[in-house]
Structure 1
Amino acid sequence: MNGLDALYQEVILDHAKRRSGEGLAAPAPAHGAGESHQYNPT
């Protein structure tokens, strides 16, 4: 494994340890439930 491959492997492993964006975020206490309205013209 050359230096660039080792660096890439280190970056991938580090990223896998610090998972983010997983699951739903808890709503803020001051805010109610969110609402979303979409329009589909078809």
Structure 2
Amino acid sequence: MTWLERRPVVELDDGTLIRYDPASDTAHVSEPSESEPDDDDF
């Protein structure tokens, strides 16, 4: 977990991002895009 602009951000090993929005008290999940190379792809 990291803190960007005083807000928690979690990045999973597969590239999924989870960001918390305190204004709406919700979490937003962003799936990784297929255009980014994965470290496991050779």
TM-score by shorter chain over 0.5: no
Q: Which has the higher contact order (CA 8 A, sep 6+)?
A: 2
Higher strand share: 2
TM-score of the aligned structures, taking structure 2 as reference length: 0.19
Higher helix share: 1
TM-score of the aligned structures, taking structure 1 as reference length: 0.19
